[in-house]
Structure 1
Amino acid sequence: MELESCDIIKSQADWFNQNPEKTTSPESVEFVADLYRAIAAGLATDASSLKNTRAPFVACLSRSRDQLSQWRGYANGGYALGFEPELLESSLQLVTEDGVATPGEGDPYVAKAIYLSHLVGERVDQMVQDRMNDTIEAIKAQDSAKKDKAAGKFTDSVIEIVSTLKHMKFYEEHEYRIVSRCRESFFTPGSLGLIPRAKASYNKKAVQEVIVGPGAFAELRKASLERYFSSKKGDFGAVAVSQSAIPYREL
């Protein structure tokens, strides 16, 4: 993803060279184009370290309430949680593995996934424009601290966009993501080895619905959830429990 963003940034440099009359300062076109290329090259060089020290943690949600491909791909006949979006986002916070809040920079936020390449280009272009003045000032001032600060802001902006990219073939998932820039708080074993994790909490009353996935004993599973939430109204509030409308069974 970092390299895809680099290619988009380099394409902006070519655009400046080909359309000098459309820029606010035609006399500085070559300088700005070179700046775009330098930023892209620096980002590409930094890609490996970004993954280790600044890469985001992401949790995935969907706007599709009851979709067969989601059940097959992710839930395996399990359950889907339906959230009240505003309450979920406003109550998100990072916590330690023991559940102690760790407020501050890096707190989670909700972002919509980007599937269409032209939208990615527009966001990268706008981001570069937004950061251009800071970078030019730092270069002109010959101030290494300003240069580092400008480069850091630019990298953070690129990572913010990269965190929302997904291949167009997944468009039907209508994905949203909970994104956080932080250090891991614990690890879990998986097929890829030890997987770094960041723990977040949210207001339980943000849970509005639980959907029982297609599969065996769906009615019984629904009844057990209704009994559970009836005993936990003080924590969760009123939670609707329903069954998937999909007549699907694992073979």
Structure 2
Amino acid sequence: MIYHYTAAPGLLGILGGGSLRATNIAFLNDSAEYYLSLERIQSALDRFARAEGGGLGAFLDGMGQRLREATHRIPEVYVVSFSRAADLLSQWRGYGEVESGYAVGFDIRALTEGLRQAGALLVPCVYEAEAQDAFADDLVRTVADLWCRASGGSTDGDGAAALLDEAFGRLAWFAALFKHPGFAEEQEWRLVSLLAPDQADRLEFIARETCVATYLPVPFPKQAVREIWVGPSRHQHLSLPAIDALLRKAGYPADTALHRSEVPFRLV
């Protein structure tokens, strides 16, 4: 199970619309971590270059250029955050809006199967620095190998540039999974989706207090929803029957479990 924490409007949107809102990673509270992750990818490319002894110059130059450009623009990387922990105080504090927090519990396997058509990836975040470096090294070697096979040695023309763009997209995809070890308590998993330049019609927009933000709707199968948690509140007993009615009206599994948070309200 993984849990998506949200406030009441988010819960109604998720259950009523049957989709999750993947947020552009630049609009997350910890968006700076993504750019630090790109630095780890660059370090992995540097180690790969030393190991190759000067080979694959076109690939390395192309990736280096794209990494430099990525640090100065909003990435087309969209994520939905989950936690392996149910009823976690830090998550209620971060996403519950005082007495309006809810957590939707998803079955990982059912959710993953449902994401195949959406072109999204669901994986756990990597927290330890050594594990991140090892992961980045493996990723760079894999992407370099794929690039070599696809390019056939050609380094000129639009085709080569498109292959480099695709290779960088794979690196950027996984960079979204690196998190600072100080957040390890969250046991975060992320649904990650990339938006191609010709897919702007997939975007939706939402007004925030200080800006207009973009998000990507990601449909999920209703059978993936297995639990709903009502966060710390004085009125949990009122929310439970309303959520139960919403689940039944929207056609979610009849055995979807409803829980009350056991975190004492005074701690929130």
1:171-226 superposed Cα distances (whole Å, 9 cap, x missing partner): 11111112222235221111341101111221222211111111111223224334
Conservation of the 8 A alpha-carbon contact between 1:216 and 1:249: no
The structure, 1 or 2, with the larger RCO (C-alpha pairs under 8 Å, 6+ apart) is 2
Compute the displacement of 1:91 (Å). 2.0
Gap change, CA 1:139 and 1:127, over 3 Å in 2:
same
1:67 counterpart = 2:67: no
| Aligned CA-pair RMSD | 3.0
Partner of 2:263: 246
Matches within 5 A, 1:23-34: 29-31=53-55
Q: Distance in 2 between matches of 1:134 and 1:90?
A: 25
Q: Distance in 2 between matches of 1:65 and 1:58?
A: 20
Gap change, CA 1:190 and 1:60, over 3 Å in 2:
same
Partner of 1:199: 217
Compute the displacement of 1:161 (Å). 1.1
Stretches (4+) displaced over 6 A: none
Equivalent position to 1:114, from 79, 102, 126: 126
Instruction: Select the structure of larger CA radius of gyration.
Output: 1
Compute the displacement of 1:6 (Å). 3.9
Partner of 2:179: 166
Gap change, CA 1:110 and 1:145, over 3 Å in 2:
same
Partner of 2:166: 153
Conservation of the 8 A alpha-carbon contact between 1:56 and 1:181: yes
Conservation of the 8 A alpha-carbon contact between 2:120 and 2:191: yes
Equivalent position to 2:79, from 45, 51, 58: 58
Aligned letter for 2:255? A
TM-score by length of 1: 0.76
1:9-49 superposed Cα distances (whole Å, 9 cap, x missing partner): 345535764xxxxx6xxxx51335x6676245312332157
TM-score by length of 2: 0.71
Partner of 1:131: 143
Aligned residue-pair number: 227
1:237 counterpart = 2:249: no
Structure 2 residue ranges without an equivalent (≥5): 1-33
Aligned letter for 2:208? G
Gap change, CA 1:45 and 1:233, over 3 Å in 2:
closer
Equivalent position to 2:203, from 185, 193, 215: 185
1:9 counterpart = 2:42: yes
